[in-house]
Amino acid sequence: MAANVRGASGRIRIVGGQLRNSRLDVPDLPGLRPTAERVRETLFNWLSPVIAGARCLDLCAGTGALGIEALSRGAASVQFVERDPRAAQALRDNLTRLKAQGGQVAGVDALAYLQGAPQPFELVFLDPPFAQDLWAVMAQRLEQGSWLSASAWIYVESPRSVAPVLPPSWSPHREGVAGEVRYALYRRVLAAA
């Protein structure tokens, strides 16, 4: 979930896959900023060769649009992490209503979640609240805490004017700008020993 000055309410649409055109209910919560449809469409076009069967982590999930889009397009599982109880419940309700298999919601703070027992993910969505400037600390915990598979993909969303400090092992793959949002896909590349 990322910060914005206005709350979001209503519904957003899943762009592709089995749940294409399904609507997600979006609670009216301050700071809730769902990833735009055209950004999700672009991102999942980039990910189309690797999404099938992927184990995904949607940190600061908010509406869960990114993770549900991943499930719709064939991801094996998505662990959603969302600290706001109302957003987490709305996410659970959407998963149930859509009969989306493979999604689990942890109603905890993302940094607290990353202190737990790690399991490596092949795809991570990193879209923290913009106002809290958490990219560097979350990226460091992901990288150093054994949360990423050896060649994981990491999606990062930030304000257009912000260039998050990310681990050197995260190699830029593709990026774009939509309005005031910068979105980028990275590939984890470990140095040969």
pLDDT surpassing 90 at residue 110: yes
Q: What is the mean pLDDT of residues 1-5?
A: 37
8-188 homologous superfamily: Vaccinia Virus protein VP39 (3.40.50.150)
For the stretch 144-178, pLDDT in tens is 999 999 999 999 999 999 889 999 999 999 999 99
pLDDT surpassing 50 at residue 135: yes
**152, HSE (Cβ side, Cα atoms, 13 Å):** 25
> Are residues 104 and 32 in contact, defined by beta-carbon separation less than 8 angstroms?
no
Q: Where are the beta strands (DSSP E) in the chain?
A: 8-13, 23-29, 55-59, 77-81, 103-106, 121-126, 148-159, 170-178, 181-188
For the stretch 6-49, pLDDT in tens is 334 578 899 999 999 999 988 888 777 788 899 999 999 999 99
Sequence length of the chain is 193
**What token pair was written down for 72?**
């719709």
Indicate whether this model's pTM tops 0.85: yes
- pLDDT grade for 129, boundaries at 50, 70 and 90: confident
> Are residues 147 and 124 in contact, defined by beta-carbon separation less than 8 angstroms?
yes
pLDDT surpassing 60 at residue 128: yes
Task: State the pLDDT at residue 4.
Answer: 36
Q: Where are the beta strands (DSSP E) in 41-169?
A: 55-59, 77-81, 103-106, 121-126, 148-159
